[in-house]
Amino acid sequence: MNSPVRHLMQAGRLDRFFIDGEWTMPEGTGRVAVVCPSTEDTLCEIPLGNARDVDRAVEAARKAFAGWSATSPQERATLLDRVHTLMLERVELFAMALATEMGAPISYARAAHVPLAAEHIRVARDNLASYPFRIQRGATAVVREPIGVCALITPWNWPIYQITAKVGPALAAGCTVVVKPSELSPLSALLFAEVIADAGVPAGVFNLVSGTGEEVGTSLASHPQVDMVSITGSTRAGVLVAQAAAPSVKRVAQELGGKSPNVVLPDADLPRAVSPGVAAAFRNMGQSCSAPTRLIVPRSVLHRVEELALAATQRMIVGDPFAETTTHGPLANRAQFGRVQKMIEAGIDEGAELIAGGRGRPAGFTSGFYARPTIFSDVRTDMTIAQEEIFGPVLAILPYDSVEEAIAIANDTVYGLGAHIQGTDKALVRAVAARIRSGQVHLNYPAWDPQAPFGGYKQSGNGREYGIEGMEEYMEVKSILGYYD
């Protein structure tokens, strides 16, 4: 038995939810197996909540809202600081949970998944120090107030990172929350609930109910006492949540799918443009909604790009997520492994040129949800692999003959979450960035910025996460006329 499961089992957490400051038995009787993606073994079972569990959690959050929303920004910052400190103290336990439940390489979990998740808490804490909750506009006071009880629905691909990206700003704003983590990767969420409890966050401010989207997700989205829903997931899931939320006219923030372009301009330094681009596309085994999985390159240098991309994949080590040398682990679950295989088949069937990887598992693997890092070249924009989100280690290289065509290819998608542009002429790079229809654009692989608003155009969703804008999603605006008379 692995350490995170043993820890949670010994603490009596695995069969419980965290509601109103207590680890409580569920009302629902359903259960689901948590499967280790590297071995396909069942790690444990967790309970699945139902509408009555949702009612209990929402009631606790509603009861706690009056007190929590009245706390000062400094009080909330102090509690968030404790959460941040405890997360960093428990990096190894979180990292082991992520390697176990969704196959993140242990080194990558330590270096990225957990510390970047902690950064969302730090940013929320720091933003409270100077945020103007009330500003003067003539004689009017414009006040931002917490929206209320928030349902936070999070995915399996970046489990703890997506929880903190929502919980941090929501609590900073003065909201209370009910979190529904993915039932496919629940261990890190339970560990985070322990952090919340140990940090001394008041009862009812943070609640956690595991369950399916059909049952718990729908119950939260439609609940009349929930004021807002924030979901990170597929576009299909976002649509269903919005439909369930519509009758109660609550706010819905959606961070959904993506098919992000990486435009390599004609003057780009190819080694600096291509190798990091492949790494970015295959980060987290390609299971990132903003992964730049469409590499758009000048046709005149297509063969050189292919050579560099192939060399980049050959440096990757797909293997046991607990091995220190592993750079890429398995896909997170059986369903995703099956989808990736089907999409690779579609690329082959539609005539794209396969230059790396392909069907099946890497050599030496007969079990586990391991996929081969795969690159297709000479891809047309009308091919399935150029249009549909794959959510796996599959890169499509699309050639172009002019910068205008490159921009058109980049925008030829129903999504608009992220984009990358590579080039040495800064004026041209910025001009192209201005014409890309996406919520984030990265120029020449900049450092990650947790204060940069993140969210999508088109079917990639609405609303923003991270930074000041992420906190403002959890607020209402009130105008008090005559306040300064």
d(CA 200, CA 407): 50
> Facing residues of 146 across strands?
475
Which two three-digit tokens encode residue 134? 């009330």
Nearest CA to 394 among 257, 291, 251?
291
- Going by the DSSP 8-state scheme, the letter that residue 432 receives in this structure is H
Q: Is residue 223 a contact partner of residue 71, using CB atoms and an 8 Å limit?
A: no
Report, in angstroms and rounded to the nearest whole number, the Rg of the chain calculated over CA atoms.
Answer: 23
187-199 and 3-10 are packed helices; what angle lies between their axes, rounded to 10 degrees? 50
| Active site annotation includes 307 | no
> Order of strands across the sheet with 22-24?
22-24, 17-19, 206-208, 176-180, 149-153, 228-232, 251-255, 461-462
Nearest CA to 123 among 467, 465, 447, 463?
467
Q: List Cα–Cα distances, 483 to 31, 69, 145, in angstroms.
A: 54, 21, 16
Q: Is residue 469 a contact partner of residue 439, using CB atoms and an 8 Å limit?
A: no
The one catalytic residue in 101, 119, 183, 255 is 255
| Active site annotation includes 465 | no
The contacts of residue 130 (CB under 8 Å, 6+ apart) are: none
d(CA 71, CA 171): 11
The one catalytic residue in 150, 289, 472, 473 is 289
One DSSP character per residue, 230-290 reads: EEES-HHHHHHHHHHHGGGT-EEEEE-----EEEE-TTS-HHHHHHHHHHHHHGGGG--TT
Catalytic residue positions?
255, 289
